[in-house]
Amino acid sequence: MRFLRDWILPIVIGLLVALLVKTFLFQFVKVDGSSMQPNLQDSERVLVWKPMEVKRMSVIVFDAHGEDPAATEPVDYVKRVIGVPGDTISYKDGKLYVNDKLVPQKFIDEEQRTTGTGNWTLASIANKYGWAKSPKKVPKDSYFVLGDHRSVSNDSRYWGFVKKSKVMGVVKVPFWSKNDQAKKNINKLATD
């Protein structure tokens, strides 16, 4: 009985606490690929805060299975939220517009803002890629996401919106990271 109390019970309690933290508070994920450069690098580990509110410009992790047709099994994507429910979005001459207002994109350089982005609206890319019936706005309980490195990112421009139910949480660069620019561009840009 003493062995149970001194060894087994603390291990079980520790495992339960770890499971609760991972399920409801936070967990670490590894960035896979270059679509979030220059702010997040391939294989970089970041924290995902689960109870945090998703806002415009938040960086999120979501399960792309069922969102991106190429994701044939559960896989986590890391992308930046550009549009929240009710937003209109367009891109013209390397400039991003949300609700007809120019959105500064100082978190990426000119090449990342312009190369391969083209001119589009939600309706035009939906028609081009066949992912929705000419939406004018981001639907309820959904987000429109882009990678920061626009020319290499597989994102909402190609396969549509991310359902709120697929979002794991909001990415935060850990305080011990030496990349101060990433902390600023990931942790502090989210707006209402």
Q: Quick check: is 35 catalytic?
A: yes
Count of CB atoms within 10 A of residue 9's CB?
Answer: 11
Q: Quick check: is 79 catalytic?
A: yes
Place of tokens 């690929």: 33
Catalytic-labelled residue, pool 58, 79, 142, 166? 79
Catalytic-labelled residue, pool 22, 34, 35, 106? 35
| SS3 call for 29 | strand
Return d(Cα 25, Cα 18) in angstroms, integer. 10
Instruction: Tell me which residues are annotated as active site.
Output: 35, 79
